[in-house]
């Protein structure tokens, strides 16, 4: 049975969506979802573009509030921005939590989204794998 990871940030439009897609694409036996503590309600177009460019975009990815997933069972919760870490709620069931922060590319050049993609792939994926092994 696959392990389940929840990736949280504030807006759930860039970093957490990219991380969700990367975990689902590259970590066998691990399924990811993402959410925000104050979601924008849409995926940033540059985040979508970078995921399309690397061939891992899926139409199932969308910006959603924590309330939508809080009652699901997760093996790990990952916060990728400081605000989400500070506002991370208590989950109904005990769950391991880690924080790996990344700069927000929102409002910046497309090259920043590519940089964020690579940082998440190189830094976050090994940590998630290690936490769940």
Q: At what angle do helices 15-26 and 45-53 cross, to 10 degrees?
A: 20
Catalytic residue among 6, 21, 30, 81: 81
Query: Tokens at residue 17, please?
Result: 């969506």
Q: Which residues contact 15 (CB under 8 A, 6 or more apart)?
A: 9, 80, 81, 102, 104, 105, 116, 120
CB neighbours of 70 closer than 8 A, spacing ≥ 6? Answer: 89, 91, 92
Dist. CA 51–CA 76, nearest whole Å = 23
Q: Measure the CA–CA gap between 133 and 131, rounded to whole angstroms.
A: 6
Candidate list 9, 27, 76, 100, residue with the active-site label: 9
Closest among 19, 27, 25 to 3, alpha carbons compared: 27
Q: Residues 25, 70, 88, 114: which is the catalytic one?
A: 88
The reply to whether 9 belongs to the active site is: yes
Which residues have a catalytic role annotated? 9, 81, 88
């Amino acid at each position: 049975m696959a392990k389940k990871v929840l990736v949280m940030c504030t807006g759930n439009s860039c970093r957490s969506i990219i991380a969700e897609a990367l975990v689902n694409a590259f970590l066998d036996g691990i399924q990811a979802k993402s959410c925000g503590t104050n979601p924008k309600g849409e995926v940033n177009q540059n985040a979508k573009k970078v995921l399309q460019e690397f061939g891992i975009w899926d139409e199932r990815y969308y910006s959603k509030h924590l309330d939508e997933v809080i009652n699901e069972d997760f093996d790990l919760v990952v916060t990728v921005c400081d605000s989400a870490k500070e506002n991370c709620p208590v989950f109904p069931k005990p769950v391991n939590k880690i924080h790996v922060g990344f700069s927000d590319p929102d409002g910046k050049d497309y090259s920043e989204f590519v940089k964020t993609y690579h940082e998440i792939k190189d830094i976050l994926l090994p940590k998630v794998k290690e936490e769940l092994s």
